[in-house]
Structure 1
Amino acid sequence: MSQILSFLPKFIYGQLFITPPAPTKDCAGKTVIVTGSNTGLGLEAARHFVQLNAAKVILACRNLEKGEAAEKDIESTTGRKGVVEVWQLDLTSYESVKAFAKKSQSLERLDILLENAGIAPPNFKLEEGSESTITVNVISTFLLALLMVPKLQETAKKHNTVPNLCIVSSEAHFFTAFPERNSSSIFDKLNDRSSARMTDRYNLSKLLEVFACREIAQDHPVSQFGVTITSVNPGLCHSELIRPEAPAVVRAFMTVMKAVLARTTEVGARTLVDASLRGQEDHGAFLSDCKVTEVAKLVTDEPETQTRVWRELAAKLEQIEPGVTKNLERGVSAKL
């Protein structure tokens, strides 16, 4: 609780008085994938990449019809046609994630994978054998990341560049006490319907993302890995994350918070683009307001918890796709 109270003034100040700068870095020749990009932050991030002259921007969406509408919207506002493509990706399905990654191997290059898609469901529901928030925000997110590492490393080697893997996390990771870490199996505990704290589940999923990003970066320096990995907080934005089926009290609270503090999705998306274009000196960093910032005290105080989270997550990923964690070990000097 003390950490939350100490964080709140910084959060409120940032929302009211800090406006992240619009991105200006040229993306000519780059291929970019943005997940969850038919609406909200993902859509606006994709629009920025098109405006920054990216050669190809792939909208990875569960609903193709909505994705195609987003494509037309981007084309109409940027005046650039033939740049945006819409590919199907459903993070509630591991087979969909695998199929998307397989299709991506046909790309000539991949410079940026921006994993923006996420959910905050109010009710406990299983997807692929795990609670849906954990399936989408954590397991499928890192399954896709690891499946795409070979293409990112191939791009690094062929084009003498350092591609970026960016995970959209949140300052919400400050707001969880993460009591599940005291269980013998963290992910098994998260699947316990009787003890699930769904009002905290989104916050917790964002903490797990921060842990995983930091552990991967710690174990795999850019000099060997060939890819920069970051996590980013877009701040409180006018997005569709809180669904209509959420409890009335939650919807009412968020309505007031957004009315007073929220950024537009375009402004929030600036932080996503900035993080996706960071250099290798920011490998493993957590970014907010377009600058490297601190993570929750729980993260810095408990490195052993970070390692344990990653080991449990890696074991799950191996069950889904045997050998996938070996993609982290290959390095850019390996035969791709």
Structure 2
Amino acid sequence: MNTRFAREHLGGQLCTTVEYPTHSFASQTIIVTGSNTGMGLEAARHFVRLDAAKVILAVRSVEKGQKAAADIVNSTGRKGVVEVWELDLARFDSVKAFAQRALALERLDVLVANAGIFMFDWSEAEGSEATVTVNVVSHMLLVMLVLPKMRETAERVGSAGRIVFCGSFTHWMTKFPERKEENILEGLDDKGKARMRDRYYVSKLIQLLVGRELAAELEKSTKPGRIAASVSNPGFCKTEIMRHGSALFELYMKFMRKSLARTAEEGGRTLVLPASADETSNGQYYDSGKIGMPSDWVLSEEGMQTQKKLWGELTARLEKIHPGVMQNL
């Protein structure tokens, strides 16, 4: 096992207490995807507690989202702040419809890309493997589509907009053999070669790489309105993301959650803390709510080359999904 991984992640999991967010989000509008349960719900609850003017729960099930909204109101006492909007990241038309609605907002200060899936068996969404579609492609499509509103807001209020991707320490846990494919994303769509028990880890590594490249592109941009993009690893938390595993796997995870896992509330803090930072957070990797370092491979020459390659492939795919979308960058 990599000694830095053991020290920073396993040790940090047991010994680090995540800071309790206190930064005010007064007047701000915030979107949190996957916020009807788990860390997304708890992050949304924190944003409401911290005086956000509007918090949008972007959820696949409106019914579950409404229950989550009622729970937030009950715990914070703040009415008229939470809104529930439908967003199905397995469908590009849903992402586009959501983004179109978001463009009509008076302002948009923060986007927390939290939603994700952990699939053990092959499944497809929009003609590609579902994990990559949901965890990577759809979230980046959403980012690109709402970027004009975030820039407009940042320019008007004089404060950088923040995009926070929910990352994972599991980006350390894959050898990522697909990186050697001529086209990585197309290689991940090959059912015959798919290693599904590794796929979530791969998706989180790709998310980290393209998130870093997005930050680099934002840094170079001369368009008005500064935006900071960061990736935040919440650590191992008590959530439902692995619910599709076998009964034996669930028994194992039950033991691990009891022994090692943070609460969903603590995980939610790790999504709120980067959202409270200024534009110097652009390109940062957060670990347990503090600025940290991603894996050695991510920082290696091969990692940086793969990052560029993936960015080119992803942006080409986004252009096919929504022609002209990359002009928003």
Indicate conservation of the 8 Å contact 1:234/1:271, yes or no: yes
SS at match of 1:224: coil
Equivalent AA in structure 2 for residue 199 of structure 1: R
TM-score by structure 1 length? 0.94
- 1:332 corresponds in structure 2 to none
- Runs of 4+ aligned residues of structure 1 deviating over 4 Å after TM superposition are none
2:274–2:281 CA contact under 8 A, matched in 1:
no
Cα distance in structure 2, aligned partners of 1:60 and 1:314: 23
**Following superposition of structure 1 onto structure 2, how do residues 1-336 of structure 1 map, counting pairs within 5 Å?**
2-3=1-2, 6-221=4-219, 224=222, 226-243=226-243, 245-301=244-300, 302=302, 303-328=304-329
Checking the alignment, whether the CA contact within 8 Å between 2:13 and 2:236 is kept in structure 1 is: yes
Q: Please state how far the C-alpha of 1:248 moved relative to its aligned partner.
A: 3.5
Letter in 1 for 2:198: D
State the secondary structure of the residue aligned to 1:25. coil
CA separation of 1:273/1:222 partners in 2, compared to 1, >3 Å: closer, same or farther?
Answer: farther
What SS does the aligned partner of 1:229 have? strand
- What is the aligned-residue RMSD (CA, Å)? 1.3
Letter of the aligned partner of 1:318 in structure 2?
E
Unaligned runs of 5+ in 1: 329-336
Q: How much has 1:291 moved relative to structure 2?
A: 1.1
Deviation at residue 276 of structure 1 after TM alignment: 1.4
Amino acid at match of 2:201: N
Counterpart Cα distance in 1 of 2:4 and 2:152: 44
State how many pairs are aligned.
325
Asked whether the 8 Å contact 1:222–1:228 carries over to 2, the reply is no
TM-score (norm 2): 0.96
C-alpha deviation, 1:90, in angstroms = 0.2
Residues in 1 aligned to 2:252 and 2:171: alpha-carbon distance in whole angstroms: 19
Structure 2 gap segments, 5+ residues each: none
Counterpart CA distance in 2 for 1:296 and 1:17 is 20
Query: Any idea what SS the aligned residue of 1:58 has?
Result: strand
Q: What SS is found at the alignment partner of 2:94?
A: helix
Of residues 298-307 and 80-89 in structure 1, the stretch that sits farther from structure 2 once superposed is: 298-307
Distance in 2 between the 1:183 and 1:247 partners? 30
Deviates more, 1:246-255 or 1:164-173: 246-255
**Residue 298 of structure 1 aligns to which amino acid in structure 2?**
W
8 A contact 1:222–1:283 mirrored in 2 = no
Measured after TM superposition, the shift of residue 92 of structure 1 is 0.3
CA contact (8 A) 2:117 2:200 kept: yes
Distance in structure 1 (CA, Å) of the matches to 2:126 and 2:184: 17
